[in-house]
């Protein structure tokens, strides 16, 4: 069975063109959404996915009706194929029910994989370059050596851990983490 999916981004746009193309392609049912491409909440797409069974074909008017990035589209279509569902995009000439369509899709998948790997390589190189310049990744530590020393002195003087944490601008668990074993049940240093 051919199941159609149509989407427009705004209320000003109309679904007529997509509906007509999907009907002409032989779609028995057409599901629709009115949501931006980045919007995760697409009830029409969710219903279409629920209806699709092994051997069915999900048909869209154009690839960008499903997602914004090649990687996102490739992942989506791979999940469909894992369920035994094929995919067809009318204006992009992609049809995974044919050998040529599967080939084109696999080329797209390979390009998306290469893009992910290049991004990962650039990220690793950037982190390494930052490390060589003396920069450390991650969040700035909330407890500096000066704060740790101040906390020890305040706790040794009998100040309650809650007051010490508040004066340093940290939580009590953070204080405990940075001054391990130094806080006794009375609030002082053990």
Helix (H) or strand (E) holding 73: helix 70-82
pLDDT digits (tens, 9 = 90+) for 58-102: 999 988 788 777 777 888 888 898 999 999 999 887 898 888 888
Active site residues: 9
pLDDT at position 18: 92
pLDDT at position 182: 58
CB within 8 Å of 5: residues ≥ 6 apart: 22, 30, 31, 32, 33, 44, 45, 48, 58, 59, 60, 65, 66
State whether 101 and 152 are in the same domain.
no
22 is in which domain, residue-wise?
2-108
pLDDT at position 110: 81
Q: What total number of domains does the chain contain? A: 2
CATH of the domain at 171: 1.10.10
Which stretches of the chain drop beneath a pLDDT of 70? 11-12, 36-40, 181-190
State whether 10 and 101 are in the same domain.
yes
State whether 97 and 6 are in the same domain.
yes
CATH of the domain at 97: 3.40.50.1390
């Amino acid at each position: 069975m051919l199941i159609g999916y149509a989407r427009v981004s705004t209320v000003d746009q109309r679904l007529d063109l997509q509906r007509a193309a999907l009907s002409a392609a032989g779609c028995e049912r057409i599901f629709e959404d009115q949501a931006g491409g980045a919007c995760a909440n697409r009830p029409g797409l969710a219903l279409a996915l629920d209806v699709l069974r092994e051997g069915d074909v999900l048909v869209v008017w154009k690839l960008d009706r499903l997602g914004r990035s090649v990687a996102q589209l490739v992942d989506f279509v791979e999940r469909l194929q894992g369920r035994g569902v094929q995919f067809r995009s009318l204006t992009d000439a992609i049809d995974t029910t044919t050998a040529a369509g599967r080939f084109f899709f696999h080329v797209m998948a390979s390009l998306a994989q290469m893009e992910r790997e290049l991004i990962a390589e650039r990220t690793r190189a950037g982190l390494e370059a930052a490390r060589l310049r003396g920069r450390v990744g991650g969040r700035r530590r909330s407890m500096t050596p000066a704060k740790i020393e101040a906390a020890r002195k305040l706790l040794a003087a009998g100040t309650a851990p809650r007051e010490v944490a508040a004066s340093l601008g940290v939580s009590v668990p953070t204080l405990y983490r940075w001054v391990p074993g130094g806080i006794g049940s009375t609030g002082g240093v053990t």
